[in-house]
A and B are shown apart, each in its own frame.
Chain A
Amino acid sequence: MLRDTWLIFLRDMKLCLRNPTWLIIGIMQPLLYLFLFGPLMVTVVAHTPGFPSGNAWAVLTPALIVQTALFSGSFAGVGLLTEYRVGVVDRFRGTPASRSALLFGKVLAQAVQATAQSVLIVLVTLLVFDLDAPASGMLLSLAMAAVLAITLSSGSYALAMVLKSEAAFPSLMNAVLLPLLLLSGVLLPVTAQLAPGWLYNLARINPLTHVVDAERAAFRGDLGSTGLLTGSLVLLAMAALALVWGTRTFQKENA
């Protein structure tokens, strides 16, 4: 199974690196956010009371990392549906290769891609802007981005195989992602001081909020904080659930 996972991982990585559109979009998107949205954020943070403490870039960068991992992971299923349509998925499913390995290989490739994007974001903010964060915190946040990509891509692949519709999948994904994203405080932190009570409470139920909080805590260097612990636990729980769902869907006899 390890070998099969590795083979599928290599295939997906090779195809991804060969696709210039993906590379350019994957690099450009976070850069656009950094350059066109980042400076605004710095001013806003400086003038608004009730923001999480710390340097403005330390608030924005982890959010961007989460957002990037969230989007690239969530839409992984689109690619799978295309592969399904042209018969590649059935061909792989017809081989003795473990069907979980099929999932793991793809998920792993997604994780590597998200991590690479995150590294790029961190490097640019370090070199171009005045990000001030401890190395240990940044490494931890990269690891969390990888786990988040694993979670979302695994869930995305499972949902794609359940829906089996190239038309319905992206719309459904968008419908799910938008409230999840707005309520997670990725763009503007949903803190008790800034948000009305009901909004704040809604945001607290959103598991993604805790992941964003944990990422920010890591960037602040708050490695012992409860926020970081809660966020990591929530993330790990989500990853476990998504992987179980993905594995079960992939192993199902009918597809």
Chain B
Amino acid sequence: MITVRGLARQFTLRGRTVDAVKGIDFDVAAGELVGFLGPNGAGKTTTLRMLTTLLRPTRGSGTVAGCDLLTDPQGVRRKIGYVAQGGSTWPESKVGEEIELQARLYGLSRAEARRRGALLAERLDLAGLEQRPAKTLSGGQRRRLDIVLGLVHEPQLVFLDEPTSGLDPQSRANLWDHVRRMRAEQGMTVFLTTHYLDEADALCDRILVTDDGKIVAEGTPDELKAGVAGDAITVDVADRAAEAAEVVRRLPGAHDVTVVAETVRLRVPRGDSVLPELLRALDSHRITMTSVKVNRPTLDDVFLSLTGRSLRDGEAASPAMEATHAA
């Protein structure tokens, strides 16, 4: 459904060039749900704008929905839907009008435009707001309107640029359900960008991890996590943390042992099977533990091990993600 080779985009600002996307290659099969995961400024939006024919690549080529990106942009536009990161609604336009016009610009008749618009608005909890100007909607409602506008013509391929930013957990879950359902019912291919690890994890068949204009890893969420060296164990002790670290270091397969104040962290291949032994060992040294936690590797760990920095550095983590981490 998407084939991209050597796609690159350079911006020139006052004589200085910014390499936003530095020659990326990837493929997306029909019906796949692929996530484009990366920190701020990684080049996600720039890539999407190239794939939706809004921005001409500086280099490289691509085929999107069977049409060549460079020679048949009109063909591409006919077949795809796009939800931009920054929103797309005119404050004075009424919700119903925006949806109807958008569908009609894709060639739908007025009746069909209204029918599909009403259906989709209903599914994304916007029913009853048709007569409201977009400026009177809440941030989350407006985001859902953006999504309706990107999907109303039922494209076979849709690009969603951070579709759930600004949505509350319930709307997020609702949108995920909707995306899954459309994929199941219409065989739609979905390409979405996100900062949210839990979103990529929960929703995507496959993830492209991107950083600084390049794709640094690619795989299913499980494959990516398997690449990280094992589960993380966190032990809080009452005292003698350094001694505890020495003890756990002798456990089979233990590595990356660190001590911060009264907390000892280590990685082991299988956390659940090592745990009984760890408890016995610390107990036999009469070290008092206050808590023990085993965490499966997260995509954040994947990102950290790939790039040496945390995806969440300097970003507000989503509440749902915090929940995943604590679990």
Q: Which residues of A approach B to under 8 Å, CB–CB?
A: 4, 7, 11, 14-15, 18-19, 83, 86-88, 90-97, 253-255
Contacts of A83 in B (CB 8 A): 90
Q: Is B90 in contact with A253, judged by CB distance below 8 angstroms? A: no
Q: Which residues of B approach A to under 8 Å, CB–CB?
A: 52-56, 73-74, 77-78, 80, 82, 84, 86-93, 97, 101-102, 104-107, 149
B53 CB contact (under 8 Å) in A87, A88, A253: A253
Q: Is B74 in contact with A91, judged by CB distance below 8 angstroms? A: no
Once A86-B91, A96-B77, A253-B56 are accepted as A-B contacts, the answer to whether A11 and B101 lie under 8 Å apart by CB is: yes
Cβ-closest 5 pairs across A and B? A87-B88, A91-B88, A253-B56, A95-B105, A97-B105
Contacts of A15 in B (CB 8 A): 90, 92-93
Q: Is A94 in contact with B55, judged by CB distance below 8 angstroms? A: no
Q: Is A86 in contact with B106, judged by CB distance below 8 angstroms? A: no
B104 CB contact (under 8 Å) in A7, A18, A19: A7
Provide 7 A-B residue pairs closer than 8 Å at the C-beta atoms, listed in order of the A residue: A7-B104, A86-B91, A88-B88, A91-B82, A95-B106, A96-B106, A253-B53
Q: Is A92 in contact with B89, judged by CB distance below 8 angstroms? A: no
B54 CB contact (under 8 Å) in A7, A86, A97, A255: A255
B88 CB contact (under 8 Å) in A4, A11, A86, A96: A86
Contacts of B93 in A (CB 8 A): 11, 15
Q: Is B54 in contact with A96, judged by CB distance below 8 angstroms? A: no
Contacts of B101 in A (CB 8 A): 7, 11
A86 CB contact (under 8 Å) in B52, B55, B77, B89: B89
A87 CB contact (under 8 Å) in B56, B87, B97, B102: B87
B105 CB contact (under 8 Å) in A7, A14, A254: A7
Please report the C-alpha to C-alpha distance between residue A96 and residue B72 in the assembled complex, in whole angstroms. 11
Contacts of A255 in B (CB 8 A): 54
Please report the C-alpha to C-alpha distance between residue A88 and residue B98 in the assembled complex, in whole angstroms. 10
Smallest CB separation, B153 vs chain A (Å): 8
Contacts of B91 in A (CB 8 A): 86
Once A93-B54, A94-B82 are accepted as A-B contacts, the answer to whether A253 and B104 lie under 8 Å apart by CB is: no
Please report the C-alpha to C-alpha distance between residue A45 and residue B104 in the assembled complex, in whole angstroms. 54
Smallest CB separation, B104 vs chain A (Å): 6
Q: Most chain-A Cβ atoms within 10 A of its Cβ — which of B88, B97, B149?
A: B88
Q: Is A96 in contact with B89, judged by CB distance below 8 angstroms? A: no
Q: Is B92 in contact with A254, judged by CB distance below 8 angstroms? A: no
Q: Is B106 in contact with A90, judged by CB distance below 8 angstroms? A: no
Using CB atoms, name the residue of chain B closest to A19. B92
Q: Is A88 in contact with B90, judged by CB distance below 8 angstroms? A: yes
Contacts of A14 in B (CB 8 A): 97
Once A87-B84, A90-B54, A91-B149 are accepted as A-B contacts, the answer to whether A96 and B90 lie under 8 Å apart by CB is: no
